[in-house]
Chain A
Amino acid sequence: MQRYKNIFLLMLLAMGTLGAQQTPAPAQSETISITGATLHLGDGTVVEDGTIVFQNGTITAVGADVAASGKVIDAAGKHVYPGIIAPAKSLGLVEIDAVRPSDDEDEIGGMIPHVRSLIAYNAESKVVESMRPNGVLLGQVTPQGGTISGTSSIVQFDAWNWEDAAVKTDDGIHLHWPQSFRRGRWWAGEPRGLRPNKDYEKDQQEILEFIRDARAYGKGANAPLNPAFAAMQGLFDGSKRLYAYANGEREIIDAVSALKEAGIRQIVLVGGYQAHLVTDFLTENDIPVLVNQPHMLPEYSDDDYDHPYKLPKLLADAGILVGLQNEDMANFQTRNLPFYAGHVAGYGLDKEKALQLITGNTARILGIDDRYGTLAQGKSATLFVSEGDALDMRTNKLTHAFIDGREISLETHQTELWKRYAGKYGQQ
């Protein structure tokens, strides 16, 4: 009984403290111009002393010789960036990892493409809110776990509810390709560490059979309705993307080859720890990669200590369309996306190309590049102003951020506590 009381209490506490997000900003009412800034366009180019003008949420002009109009923000010496995009994360689906009542990221079932993240997205998540002061303004809200985890949607991070958060609804399905190695079941007395997975062939066949069934279903009368098969249909006409999670050389080749043969039109590789070994294969098949963020340890003891740091560059140099994701890390870490890109730049990738890994490239990979990811005329005014280089933690200090032209608050639960206690000690 005591146990249940505790859980109830915890739930009450959780509900009591999880509530308050900054109030979403109203729609853009007047034209805004940011002037005198270094504009990082997110397509690999920079405009020094540039101006960007936007109205009704859309960029109307951007460049060095652009006339300002409307409300002018003097950003001399500052930097402007497109809003950073966080792919493959369960942001808004879980608030506190260890508190089960707050966790909605992993539904039971192995192949559940019909399970949709969007309706569980908590637009008032404090974790989501904490993304914004670092420039992370959009995310792909993604179910976790299982083989086919479900269907993601892309949202912007300043909304009253999931409906007005949605940028692209049900954009893609997430498939975790089986692994040819498995970890020792140490709890059953096996040694830890990897060993060949004897079921690898079987595990693959199960997926491919499911996909074949789904495809056959789509060609028929579709009755009675099979929700899982129905959810898969967009993959065959190219209206949805398939995000295939694979890290090993063999798994990458297997996943891409088999999924293409199965009739899936748009495949995105997520992970790609050994993708540098199969770059020719990936370019031939025109597969973009959402590569693992650099803040991981090498998987094998003989790997280069800096393998995760330099991997994105190895792929980009090979001509692959590359974005960064941190799907296997806790959600709160996603605010470090700009610093992941910075770290990659430290290992040789041009800084503007590194920026593309979290903006322009990601938008293309997710299929939202018509509106997001770069600073260009006609695109959404989803961008931020930083006092300095946003990829370096010392200088990533936002003064303004806009989502679809709406100037959003940069305050959070955390900044409020900071101010309260700094005030207590007379530090401010």
Chain B
Amino acid sequence: MKWRLSLLAFMGLGMFAFAQEYFPKNDGVKASNENYTALTNARIQIAPGQVVENGTLLIRKGLVVQAGAAVRVPENSVVIDLSGKYIYPSFIDIFSGFGIQEPKRAQGSGRTSQYDASRDGFYWNDHIRPEQQAIEAYQFDKTKAQTLRKAGFGVVNSHVHDGIARGTGILLTLSDSDDDARRVLDDGSGQYFSFEKSVTSRQSYPTSLMGAMALLRQMYYDADWYAKGNTSNTDRSLEALNANKGMVQFFAAGDKNNVLRADGIGDAFGVNYVILAGGQEYENIGQIKAAGASLVVPLNFPDAFDVSNPYEAKIVSLEDMKHWNQAPTNPKVLADNGITFAFTLHGLSKESDFHEKVRKAMAHGLTEQQALEALTTTPARLLGKSGQIGSLQPGRLANFLITSGPVFDETTTLYENWVRGNRDILEDMDRKDIRGEYALNAGGKSFTLSLTGKAASPSIKVMRDTAELKSNLNYSGDWVDISFNDTGERYRMTARVSESSDNLQGKGVLPNGNESRFTARLTKPFEAGDSDSDPEGASAKTPEVLPLTYPNVGYGYASPPTQEDVLFRNATVWTSEDAGILENTDVLVRKGRIARIGQDLSAGGAHVIDATGKHLTAGIIDEHSHLAAVAINEAGHNSSAEVRMSDVVDPEDVDIYRDLAGGVTSIQLLHGSANPIGGQSAILKLKWGRPASEMLYQEMPKFIKFALGENVKQSNWQSYERFPQTRMGVEQVFLNYFQRAREYQAKKDSGEPYRHDEEMETLAEILRGERFISCHSYVQSEINMLMKVAEKMGFRVNTFTHILEGYKVADKMAEHGVGGSTFSDWWAYKFEVNDAIPYNAAIMSRAGVTTAINSDDAEMSRRLNQEAAKTVKYGGMSEEEAWKMVTINPAKLLHLDERVGSIAEGKDADLVLWSGNPLAVYSRAEKTYIEGVPYFDLERDAQIRQRIDRDRTTLINMMLEEKDGGSKRTPRQSRKERFHCDSL
């Protein structure tokens, strides 16, 4: 609507370079300009890789007629001679927010959550806004347009950066002299998505990344269901989503791992998103390449930290320092891997930094052609507009730049930016280039003046003999003003630049105030690439870039560790099997499996480790973990069965490494306990240095988190809105959801059409016995309740986790067949753990419940061996049984006991070599293997520590050097959050 209004406003003005042909005209006579403009003798970059020296660009009515060496210039041409100048197609920003009004932020209303949508006739979730049209929120922004033109841009593709589904975009040119009727090239240039909620609504769901992902999936299912005419209501969101399917589909991922997440959603629904990257894709380039998506890449290379204060330097992680060092390689790495990418200004705080960032990328190996492609032909192609923009072939819009030299060179001046044939003069290209070296005699002394830098705004250095003087130069219009200070004596002079002489001649004022004429004689003309412009030659040499590690954080490995055949010789072997604890025993590992257990085994080429005096065990399995995740709770609904923890695995969490150092090899990454029905678990092997997809168990048993008690009742914070508020209500939530899931399954089985419901699909898996519940639980009443609900619904609860009052109903648990995974000795932190006792594990175990000890905490996880040992103290478990509580018992609870959790032939070689009895408080894990790969080794750890110190020193020195150039970024520690059950 705004668009039409602004059109009316413009029509009143009447004076357009190109009036609409069929519009009536009342303020004069109708006429048209059919002349040509010929730009001659230029070096024309028709498209990246296609250059014409000494060519002519012929344009008419805003379009390219012809560009080449042999262009016939018609009589009715205005000719502009561009001898020595360069012409480039102007740039395109494919991911802009140009001209879009900021969406209005919804007003908060305290801590009360809003669970329902605010709007009628739209999707059930306010954050899905595909009906939003950029054109409706658009108004041409002259100031911004000028800034963009100065940076070399002619076309932007803009959209409303708000919401998970964001609606459609507009493609427009940046000419001030046009109106929107000509500027807007396409008001449906793409359909946009992201993982971020709209600021215009306080609707709670989704509160998490995995919730946003689940919502997108459900949205696509619902759109399909709607398209088939299965609903009686009108949903303008889904109608728009379906109507805009044919447009280019963009996804604002903004992070290297989110790129993969977005691509995965696209793959599931046959959508090929063009994805906004984050700038760290050089770190997981293999996966990015495999995803095969086209990317929009920001040039958001971070500034150096100011590390001059050693205390402050200490808080900057090596990871962040390395990113400073390595980020400028990102474009080159993308190019080398054949990934299609366009650049964007998005993520840059200042448009004026753009050229410097491109130069930085080029200094790190990106070619000029690749940079140009990312700014012209590639975005044009991604937008499906190659016939219109991105090059200077005949018929394209006359969008081009005139420059003094190679467009990205530091000394190049951008003279003019033509948009659709409209000329915008940024710098007067006829103005004389006064750069060069001059000799000056004044007040009886000789000075040397060096003018370097950009032709339009040169910088000056004044020397007397070998002494550099403080000096200043101002060149505006045809006048140049120079002043300098020679040991307190001030010299000032001003000169009008003359076409006829290369010398600078004018009036000078000597320190004594005497005025006289002066002449600075040109002794050496300026040459591009003069060492003066770059005193240290810094840009000439390739910058030092530290190698990547796996993962690319402090404790990453120089190369990913590889599988080896190993023979552990003469160990005390804790089998966690009926075989018990075997003294003086050998264990042979081949191809990632435990091949043989016995005495005096033959190594047969395997690497032999003398384990005399040491203890070998299966890797510890933590049934309840929240490490290696970027989000834990989807708290927006009281059920979030549709969310998947496997969507949000963070393979670079240093707590993975620390867990390995504590002998942990597998974890169940559980959803939190914010709601009665939580999300789907991910079960991981802690393969440090491997991507998330490789950490997930293959044929991963399906689990889901449930929760009871204070957290789901929201007892410990001010929230009184959400059902349930009592344990009574919790039962009703379960009964209701399972009843609905049962009815859903029945409808599905009947063959009738049904709406695919991600939540119901998950719950139906539980009813079918295909998905297992691990339920956060504390007091006996609720524990008993869930077992009864399950029995009524015909399934079995798999695991109660925490289960601190399990000892009170251990007999009922054994009868139901549910396992218990508990803390060793936690209690007293909230009311429902008042009767928690450290004897719980022992009592449950003796009552026939499969019992594990878990952590729910990254700190405790890395010493679960000690936590298991507490069951010896509290309740008198045997050491053998105590050890099972962190190995085979959690493996059983996770349905992984055929593969891991004990030392038996044929099982995965997930092994830990301990310095002594693994339950002893004095023992340490020395080596931790997963499938025969040494993922932790004390000796290697010592080497990494040295490397960290070395790399930190190197980078700090490099930053200090850059700081001398003025970098002022305050040291920061970009630490992630550590999660527990109730982390929101």
Provide the B844-886 mask, 1 if CB < 8 A to any CB of A, else 0: 0011000000000011101100100110111100010000000
Residue B941, interface by CB 8 Å: yes
Given A297-B859, A342-B922, check contact A394 B976 (CB 8 Å): no
Q: Does B710 contact A (CB under 8 A)?
A: yes
B807 contacts A by Cβ under 8 Å: yes
- Contacting B at CB under 8 A, from A158-186, are 180-181
Cα distance A264–B811 when bound, in Å?
Answer: 61
Once the chains are docked, how many angstroms separate the CA of A296 from the CA of B859?
A: 6
Q: Are A427 and B831 in contact (CB under 8 A)?
A: no
The answer to whether residues A96 and B830 also contact, given A305-B941, A393-B870, A418-B837 and a CB cut-off of 8 A, is yes
Q: Is the CB of A343 within 8 A of B866?
A: yes
- A384 interface residue, CB < 8 Å from B? no
A212 within 8 A of B: no
B346 adjacent to chain A (CB < 8 Å) = no
Q: Is the CB of B973 within 8 A of A297?
A: no
Separation of A68 and B892 alpha carbons in the complex (Å): 54
Whether B104 sits at the interface, judged by CB under 8 Å, is: no
Which stretch in B15-23, B255-263, B653-661 binds the other chain?
Answer: B653-661
Question: Do B971 and A193 touch (CB < 8 A)?
Answer: no
Residues of A near B843 (CB, < 8 A) are: 418, 421-422, 425, 427
Contact of A339 among B657, B808, B835, B921 (CB under 8 A): B921
- Expressed in whole angstroms, the minimum distance between the Cβ of A119 and any Cβ of chain B is 22
Check if B808 sits within 8 Å of A421, measured CB to CB: yes
Query: Complex: how many Å from CA A192 to CA B862?
Result: 24
Question: CB of A227 within 8 A of chain B?
Answer: no
Docked Cα-Cα span, A220 to B846, in Å, equals: 70
The docked-state distance in angstroms from the alpha carbon of A346 to that of B661 is 14
B946 to chain A, nearest CB (A): 11
Question: Of B245-253, B309-317, B369-377, B671-679, which binds chain A?
Answer: B309-317
Q: Is the CB of B975 within 8 A of A248?
A: no
A213 adjacent to chain B (CB < 8 Å): no
Interface membership of chain B positions 300-329, coded 1 if the CB is closer than 8 angstroms to chain A and 0 otherwise: 000000000001101101110000000000
State in angstroms the CA–CA spacing of A99 and B832 once bound together.
10
Enumerate chain A residues within 8 angstroms of B318, measured Cβ to Cβ: 301-302
Distance A195 CA – B828 CA, assembled complex (angstroms): 34
List of B residues within 8 angstroms of A391 by Cβ? 921
Tell me the chain B residues, 932-984 only, with Cβ under 8 Å from chain A: 941, 945, 948, 952, 970-978
B977 lies within 8 A of A192 (CB): yes
Which chain B residue lies CB-closest to A186? B977
A residues 306-339 near B (Cβ < 8 Å) are 306, 330-332, 335-336, 339
Given contacts A297-B858, A305-B661, A332-B829, contact A196 B869 (CB under 8 A): no
Does B920 sit at the interface, judged by CB under 8 A?
Answer: yes
Instruction: Determine whether the beta carbon of B921 is less than 8 Å from that of A393.
Output: yes
Is A250 a contact partner of B837 (Cβ separation < 8 A)?
no
- Asked whether B826 is an interface residue with its Cβ less than 8 Å from the other chain, the reply is yes
Main DSSP-derived SS at the B contact region: loop
| Chain A residue at minimal CB-CB distance from B874 | A418
- Would you call A97 and B828 a contact (CB within 8 A)? yes
Q: How large is the interface on B (under 10, 10 to 19, 20 to 34, 35 or more residues)?
A: 35 or more
Interface string of A1-25 (1 = CB under 8 A from B): 0010000001001100100000000
Indicate whether A30 reaches chain B with its CB closer than 8 angstroms.
no
Asked whether, in the complex, the Cβ of B866 is within 8 Å of the Cβ of A393, the reply is yes
With a CB–CB cut-off of 8 A, which chain B residues contact A95?
A: 828
Contact with A300, one of B314, B879, B921, B970 (Cβ below 8 angstroms): B314
Q: B866–A192 contact, CB under 8 A? A: no
Give a binary string over B638-655; 1 marks a CB under 8 Å from any A CB, 0 the rest: 000000000000000011
B26 CB within 8 Å of chain A: no
Q: Which residues of B contact A225 (CB under 8 A)?
A: none
Query: Is A339's CB under 8 angstroms from B866's CB?
Result: yes
B124 at the binding interface (Cβ < 8 Å): no
Q: How many residues of A contact B (CB 8 A)?
A: 60
**Distance, CA A309 to CA B831, complexed state (A):** 32
A285 contacts B by Cβ under 8 Å: no
Residues 373-428 of A at the B interface (beta carbon under 8 Å): 391-397, 414-415, 417-418, 421-422, 424-425, 427
Chain A residue with the shortest CB-CB distance to B848: A425
- Whether B847 and A425, one on each chain, are in contact in the complex, defined by CB atoms closer than 8 angstroms, is yes
When the two chains form the complex, which single residue of A98, A194, A397, A415 contacts B710, counting CB atoms closer than 8 Å?
A98
Asked whether, in the complex, the Cβ of B317 is within 8 Å of the Cβ of A302, the reply is yes
Asked if residues B866 and A193 are in contact (CB atoms below 8 Å), the reply is no
Q: Given A305-B657, A343-B863, A414-B839, A127 and B828 touching (CB < 8 A)?
A: yes
Name the B residues within 8 Å of A13 (CB-CB).
831
Q: List chain A residues, Cβ under 8 A from B554.
A: 301-302
> In the complex, A191→B972 CA distance in Å?
10
Interface residues of A in 206-227 (CB under 8 A from B): none
In the assembled complex, B810 has its CB within 8 A of some CB on chain A: yes
A48 at the interface (CB under 8 A from B): no
B716/A98 in contact, CB under 8 A: yes
Contacts A3-B720, A418-B839, A418-B843 given; does A194 touch B828 at CB 8 Å = no
**Contact of B655 (CB < 8 Å), options: A297, A396, A415:** A297
Residue on A nearest B553 in the bound complex, by CB: A301
A298 in contact (CB, < 8 A): yes
A249 contacts chain B at the CB level, 8 A cutoff: yes
Do A99 and B948 contact each other (CB < 8 Å), given the known contacts A193-B972, A248-B311?
Answer: no
* Inter-chain contacts of A424 with B (CB < 8 A): 811
Q: Closest chain A residue to B977 by CB distance?
A: A192
- Interchain CB contact under 8 A, A422 and B859: no
> Contact: A96 with B834, CB < 8 Å?
yes
**Closest B residue, CB atoms, query A249:** B311
B724 contacts chain A at the CB level, 8 A cutoff: no
Q: Let me know if A397 and B873 touch, CB within 8 A.
A: yes
B662 nearest in chain A by CB position: A305
CB B551 to nearest CB in A, in angstroms, measures 11
Contact with B along A340-383 (1 / 0, CB 8 A): 00110111000000000000000000000000000000000000
A114 interfacial contact with B, CB 8 Å: no
Q: Is the CB of A300 within 8 A of B553?
A: no
Hey, which chain B residues are within 8 Å of A342, CB to CB?
921-922
Please pick, from B831, B945, B973, the residue contacting A193 in the complex, using a CB distance under 8 A: B973
Residue of A nearest to B978 (CB): A297
Q: Are A346 and B922 in contact (CB-based, < 8 A)?
A: yes
Which residues from A are CB-within-8-Å of B948? Answer: 302
Does A237 sit within 8 A of B, measured CB to CB? no
Q: How far, in whole Å, are A99 and B837 apart by their CA atoms in the complex?
A: 19
Provide the residues of chain A in CB contact with B945, threshold 8 Å: 304
A276 beta carbon closer than 8 Å to chain B: no
Residue of A nearest to B846 (CB): A427
A195 touches B972 (CB 8 A): yes
Given the known interface contacts A191-B974, A298-B658, the answer about A330 and B828 at a Cβ–Cβ threshold of 8 Å is yes
Question: With contacts A295-B859, A298-B658, A396-B873 known, is A10 near B831, CB below 8 A?
Answer: yes
Nearest residue (CB) in B for A424 is B811
Q: Which of A99, A302, A393, A427 contacts B830 (CB 8 A)?
A: A99
Q: Is the CB of A297 within 8 A of B977?
A: no
Question: What's the Cα separation between A191 and B869 when bound, in Å?
Answer: 39
Q: Which residues of A contact B977 (CB under 8 A)?
A: 192
Measured in the bound complex, the distance between the Cα atoms of B661 and A146 in whole Å is 36
Say whether B451 faces chain A, with CB atoms less than 8 Å apart.
no
Contact call A392/B922, Cβ cutoff below 8 A = yes
> B919 near A: Cβ within 8 Å?
yes
Cα separation A4 to B847 with both chains bound (whole Å):
40
Known contacts being A297-B655, A393-B873, is A180 close to B311, with CB within 8 Å?
Answer: yes
Q: List 5 A-B contacts (CB under 8 A).
A: A305-B658, A394-B879, A394-B919, A421-B807, A427-B846
Known contacts A305-B862, A346-B922; can you find 19 more A-B pairs with CB under 8 A?
A: A96-B834, A127-B828, A180-B311, A193-B976, A195-B971, A196-B312, A196-B970, A295-B859, A305-B555, A345-B922, A392-B922, A393-B873, A415-B839, A417-B807, A417-B835, A418-B807, A425-B810, A425-B846, A427-B843
Chain A positions within 8 Å of B, measured between CB atoms, are 3, 10, 13-14, 17, 95-99, 126-127, 180-181, 191-196, 248-250, 295-298, 300-302, 304-306, 330-332, 335-336, 339, 342-343, 345-347, 391-397, 414-415, 417-418, 421-422, 424-425, 427
Top 3 closest pairs, chain A to chain B, by CB: A342-B921, A98-B830, A346-B922
